[in-house]
Amino acid sequence: KQEVTQIPAALSVPEGENLVLNCSFTDSAIYNLQWFRQDPGKGLTSLLLIQSSQREQTSGRLNASLDKSSGRSTLYIAASQPGDSATYLCAVSVYTGTASKLTFGTGTRLQVTL
Amino acid sequence: KAGVTQTPRYLIKTRGQQVTLSCSPISGHRSVSWYQQTPGQGLQFLFEYFSETQRNKGNFPGRFSGRQFSNSRSEMNVSTLELGDSALYLCASSLITSAYTDTQYFGPGTRLTVL
């Protein structure tokens, strides 16, 4: 059974700091890994998708890496801003015989302070 | 292009009642997935529909059911509500061109409170 863990559970950093969020998964047989952002009481916004054959993806100040063999992914946020405050979730896409589905981590709650 | 829409946004029910939630996917998307989010269990997969067929199901009791219509809109039904069913129910749609590149787009969710 695929299990996804995110560390730390919560993080508070001052504005302008670079930071790294961690995600680990137990089964390397994945199609892709996605990072999402969730604002309080809202739905999820897709940030980055890394295919299983890729090593990293970049979008603006965000960079996500994937090491499938070790079951790890990191999300790097450069020059953090107060607007980055949210919960960040990673999810792996696994195949269950007929279709793929997402298995989510428990999330990292990020607060960027002024 | 309009995003994924879910109705209603908020719902209050009492134990024993049943509820139906609706999800309209992004135009052209044929896959719709449902997830339950609670503080204790996090985000858990409920089921996925593609072309009106349930292709995948999570580990939830039979009280949770769903269906998809020919226009890809989907509904989720929960019968005999329990207090533990209080959660944010999220719907996601995807284009399904490749399992490797498939991105799921989430709606704002329906907040269900069971009293």
User: Taking CB atoms and an 8 Å cutoff, what residues of chain B touch A46?
Assistant: 103-106
| Interchain CB distance below 8 Å, B101 and A106 | no
Residue A20 Cα distances to A17, A61, A73, B10, angstroms: 10, 12, 10, 34
Strand A30-38 and strand A44-51: pairing? antiparallel
Q: Which amino acid is at A36?
A: F
pLDDT number for residue B11 = 96
The 3-class secondary structure across B37-89, one letter per residue, is EECCCEEEEEEEEECCEEEEECCCCCCEEEEECCCCCEEEEECCCCHHHCEEE
User: Taking CB atoms and an 8 Å cutoff, what residues of chain A touch B103?
Assistant: 34, 46, 49
Residue B30 Cα distances to A91, A100, B81, B106, angstroms: 21, 14, 29, 14
- Digit-coded pLDDT (tens) for B13-58: 999 999 999 999 999 998 999 999 998 899 999 999 988 999 889 9
- Digit-coded pLDDT (tens) for A51-83: 989 999 999 999 999 999 999 999 999 999 999
Q: Are B113 and A63 in contact (CB under 8 A)?
A: no
| Interchain CB distance below 8 Å, A43 and B56 | no
Query: Is pLDDT at B63 greater than 90 in this prediction?
Result: yes
- Digit-coded pLDDT (tens) for B75-106: 999 999 999 999 999 999 988 766 666 788 99
Mean pLDDT of A103-113: 95
pLDDT number for residue B97 = 65
pLDDT number for residue A98 = 62
